[in-house]
Amino acid sequence: MSIPLAVSQLIEVEKSRDLGTLSPDNTLAIAVSQIGGGNGHERIVAGTLTELSQQPSEKFGEPLHSLVIAGKRLHHLEVEYAEDFSVNKENWRKVAKDVYGCALN
């Protein structure tokens, strides 16, 4: 399954069930592909589910794809590392701080 398809399905299921499990604008995720595939093939893209859904499929590279949903106990080092790969660095930090309660300098 591709990243765009996985993200769109997560958003659609949340809309239809309305359980409050995921909030597309406030759920952080990291998309990875071709990890271990050699220099130039690996891709890491971080953002909210909404931000990831708005990226062109080419941004995620070739399969194999994985999507990591950040847990609510997000460590500041995880936030800082993934920030380098984020679609929107300012929003990445804002959501990590305001929604996840991550203590950032």
Residue 62 covered by a domain = yes
Q: How far apart are CA 21 and CA 35, in angstroms?
A: 28
Residue 104 resides in a domain:
no
pLDDT value at residue 17:
93
CATH of the domain at 38: 3.30.950.10
* pLDDT tens figures, 8-34: 999 999 999 988 889 999 999 999 998
Provide the domain count of the chain: 1
In a domain, 105, yes or no: no
Number of Cβ within a 10 Å radius of residue 100: 20
Domain membership of residue 56 as a residue range: 3-98
The Cα 46–Cα 48 span in angstroms is 7
Q: Are 95 and 48 in contact (CB under 8 A)?
A: yes
pLDDT digits (tens, 9 = 90+) for 28-65: 999 999 887 777 789 999 999 999 999 999 999 888 89
Over its C-alpha atoms, the chain yields an Rg (Å, rounded) of 14
pTM over the 0.85 mark = yes
What's at 102, amino acid-wise? Answer: C
